[in-house]
Amino acid sequence: MEQLELYHFPQPCDIAVLYDSANYMYVGDGTTGSGSGELFKSTNGGLNWTSIHTVSGSEIPMIAISSLDLDLAYHTCWSSGGFWRTGNKWGSFLQVTTTGSAWGTDIAKDDPTAVSFVIYGSTAYVSTNGGDNFISSNVGSSPNAGVLFYDKATCFHSKEAESTN
């Protein structure tokens, strides 16, 4: 995106553009193991950016948005800082959980009350009530790298390929 060149993000991790308006954009930024992660917001298509949230972890690796609830969004924090939610386009923030090493996240495409996040390890968390409560599941030994919550009945947790050496 050409617009991003107008603002220097040290190490952008993820970008989300609202479904109804390309003017609303979010960027999760941070450098693994160095400093604090930041969430940036643009309301004019990326021409200007404002740092709206700084977390204790060193990066904000993933952002989840919904086409069904345009005010709703979540973001993860690496390696500390947990999992965060907004219900008003990041006007305010709620730390949903303090679970460490949160990495991937997504909202079910057919139900914005269903959300999942994974830690960079072997555990996936799923909520069907907007993140008020989660159930956890061990999903294997290699690190979780991402989430695709296709619909409320189908959630994929991406795994890092294991070396055969």
The DSSP output letter for 140 is: -
pLDDT 10s digits, 44-69:
999 999 999 999 999 999 999 999 99
Q: Report percent pLDDT > 70 for the chain.
A: 91
- Render the burial of 102-136: b for 16+ CB within 10 Å, e for the rest: bbbbbbbbebbbbbbbbbbbebbbbbbebbeebee
pTM (2 decimals)? 0.90
**Mind listing the domains of the chain with CATH numbers?**
2-152 (2.130.10.10)
Residue 59: Cβ within 10 Å count: 28
Select the more confidently predicted residue: 29 or 5.
Answer: 29
Residue 67 and residue 109: Cα distance in Å, rounded? 7
Residue 137 and residue 124: Cα distance in Å, rounded? 5
Residue 154 and residue 27: Cα distance in Å, rounded? 26
